Every structure is written in C-alpha cells, then in structure tokens.
Amino acid sequence: MTSFHQLDDLTPTQAFPGISFRHVHGEQLTFSVFELEPDAELPRHSHHNEQAGLCTRGSLTFSTAEGDKQVGPGDIWMIPAHEPHGGRSGPDGATVVEVFAPAREDWPR
C-alpha cells in the first residue's frame, strides 16, 4: 500500500541521550531521520538489519571494525547486517537519513 507522511507529524523516539529519530515502516524496510545533538555518542551495537544512510547536516564519526570514518553532508554509508558500529556526532550535531532492511521489528509501529 502506498503511503505518504510529513516528517513533522511523526513522533520522535529517544534512541540514546542526545539522539532522537522519527521513522515510518514499510513492508520490507524502515525509513528514519535521526537528529544528533553536538557530541552525542552512539554506543557500539549491531542489528540484523542492513543499514544505509546519508548525512544531510553536520558531521558524524563512525567507528567500525575497519576503523573510524568521518562523514558530512552528502556522504553515504552502507553497514552490513550484524556488523558492530558506533559513533559520535561532531560539534554542530548532525542530521542523518537512514534506511534499514528488513524493517526494524524492535521499533514501534
């Protein structure tokens, strides 16, 4: 079923201190927009979902098994399912758009 949403109408969810997101679920994927306050820490974690993202504002440093990588506006990343990752937003915070497949079953519908 086709659906349309206004980002401001989606209820924010607190992921970690200083990190919140808004999301919608499709049948096979979850679309999300994360807002990170300055210097917010994303604890190292993994999940069974493949993850693709785009930074639209600010900066973020990812930590993966391959090392650290700083991303900024226009940078895209792909994180395989089950790969441990974490990170920290830069001094101006960050906004990122991310897609998870399959859909995140651990997030509210």
Q: For 63-89, how does the pLDDT look when each residue is reduced to its tens digit (9 = 90+)? A: 999 999 999 999 999 999 999 999 999
b/e 40-66 (16+ beta carbons within 10 angstroms → b): bebeeeebebbbebebeebbbebebee
d(CA 52, CA 39): 22
- Per-residue model confidence (pLDDT) at position 1: 84
Tens of pLDDT along the chain (109 residues) come to 899 999 999 999 999 999 999 999 999 999 999 999 999 999 999 999 999 999 999 999 999 999 999 999 999 999 999 999 999 999 999 999 999 999 999 998 8
d(CA 81, CA 13): 22
Given 3.40.50.720, 3.30.530.50, 2.60.120.10, 3.40.50.300, which CATH number is that of 30-109? 2.60.120.10
Q: What is the DSSP letter of 74?
A: T
